[in-house]
Structure 1
Amino acid sequence: MENNVGTDQTRRREYPRYKKSCFWVLWSCFVPVATLSYPVYSIWSMVKGQRSLPRPASTLRTAVMFKEGVLLISITPIVGYLVYKRSLALELVSELQKFRHSIRMSSTKRARNGFMIFLVACFIGGYFTIIGREMIYIVQKFSWAYVLVDFFEFVFWFLIDAFTMCFYFTAVSAMSDAYDELISTLSLLRPSPRTVSGSVGTRQNAFAVAAEPTPELHADIFKSASESLVRLHDLHRLLHRYMEFPITVSMQVSVIVTIISLFLMTFWKTAETVWRVKAIAFIVVGALPFIILCNIPEILKYRIEKLQVLLRSLRRHHPDQGFKQATTDLLETLNEFPGFKLCGLFTLGRPCVVDICSFTATYLVILLQFLATER
């Protein structure tokens, strides 16, 4: 059997590799600027006569202003990136539309979609709670300038986080359907049993022989499945190339918001009811994005592992050496499973949640130590 898989580099469509450091360096430059936003805001408030001179060490106000500065300043590179990469997004959507999507809803897929809808509903509820609280502040204090900045910030970050989570989940779900279709197609190549046990002895099963695909049909099915697999692999790389920067920044901001929100919970006893509700809402909108984003890659990981098991089974049972070599090439392609690297430290996935929680706990303890020195 001739190897017509098309997994060689000449037939595979190569996309230019995304330089991870380009926007990451830009984002790293914005973090010091966000740190400087606190003294700038304090000086502006004192000039306007809205506040007295702040204490030299005020961990709470510094932490809150740092969070606000990071949120506000991060909007610029994210929006600029999405506008700049608009053509790449259109290419990604057009490639996704070329694959046939499954209409059937299995129980697993229904449960997955339902859980995703529940998490997004909690995320939307948290944001609307924060925005509603700001509207109450307008009615009570009539501080339009302060609240409009917050409103602009929250609405934009809601749209950015919602786009990042929903677009990534939709693309991965579509690719998951394509992998399911590919698995069902390759399952046709499994050898059917040629013998069945009878009362007299073992005789040939004529129905199984008649229903088994011919070698020519085997080659056509395998060639079509191989080309689809290579296209899916390239599409996966294209998806990561487009979504890597938005996901990285969204995860960073989510971690910062979660740390500051948990820090605010230490003032639970002395805080007003409105501030308690706002702190809980900030924890929800801060923690949910990285929890959702870390669980989305597991959808494709399960399909790829299932496809690898099927290809190993086909390679083991098929007698043709060319078929075995072609199957080996496909397995090597699947082993190049592209994954997100967040800041060069974390790989996006469920194990990443443990690392992020450890990171969050470490910096929360540092903030509490600073607070203890003030008291």
Structure 2
Amino acid sequence: MKTFLADKDGYYGEFGGAYIPEILHQCVEDLKNTYLKVLESKKFQDEYLSLLRDYVGRPSPLYHAKRLSAKYGCKIYLKREDLNHTGSHKINNTIGQILVARHMGKKRIIAETGAGQHGVATATVCALMDMECVVYMGKTDIERQHINVEKMKMLGATVIPVTSGNMTLKDATNEAIRDWCCDPANTFYIIGSVVGPHPYPDMVSRLQSVISKEIKRQLMEKEDRDYPDYLIACVGGGSNAAGTVYHYVDDMRTKIVLAEAGGLGVTTGMTAATIQLGKTGIIHGARTYVIQNEDGQIEEPYSISAGLDYPGIGPIHANLAAKNRASVIAVNDDEAIKAAFELTRLEGIIPALESAHALGALNKFSFPPNSLVVLTVSGRGDKDIHTYLGDNSQTINL
């Protein structure tokens, strides 16, 4: 049967795989040979689901946004990942990966972070499991996500500023991989998105698939059907989107809409619209779409959102776009901020800037009347208040 999920070698169509330095071959191979056995074991499932319930606070609500629905002429449900412990979907993944790390006898955890939500989630589970935690974060992102940096430090993590390149997510990932190369035997790299070498995209997708699993059950309770007409999520690396669509990718009744960061505009050179501008290449161990110049050198991305400021995309999403399974919409900075204020004023929910890009896709898409739409609010906007306050001239016509 044809599927849009990964094959046994970690490929989504032509995208994926593991393109890694020789020094990392053994630890990636060990993880590849271990992760499914652990994830599918009863011991893991019992502990993982218990922590999701009692520590994270799952299931996250599926909320009928009535005023937002009235504005856009369809029935919109918001999947409230912003209500999780630590404020985003990232905790679903870090709890699962640290249980895998513990099973493999690893004692030292490293991570990369952009918006800081993955860094906070990683630092949180390291505190919970009494493990050393080192988080790499671009200097630019440290300055614009100061609150999350202080949270990580309070949780006991060492936050290392990265000053190469744009000093954002791509550069933090580069440094984390360099660290991993120096001590592969003792170090477990908790990657925060569906990027990197196989098995990471598949492992992270599986851990985040709790989102779509809950959506199916919650829709059945609320609508007496377990699928929506449309699923909408923002994509940077794409973990919240992968979790949102996981149980629906092969169900053609549901249309998938991915919102990527347009920055100042797709044609301005100041953008992170990877799927629209990218060409097939290798980044951080996987073949996917990459924003690159004619010589194949990676171009520096830009987005007002630190979590979407990445020049690649998860191979699952590259394949969904290439096979026309997903519609991809670029949402610019100003459109995302307007959408954030709109949700705040209409529903009393302040979304993360990343999630605001998904919301910004609503007025760029024509939904047939009575469409059932599920949009994932991947995180809450506490971390972005300074950015929102800097744009307090916003006037929203409600």
Which category of TM-score, normalised to the shorter sequence, fits these structures? Answer: under 0.3
Q: Which has the higher strand share?
A: 2
The normalised TM-score by structure 2 is: 0.24
Q: Which has the higher helix share?
A: 1
The normalised TM-score by structure 1 is: 0.25
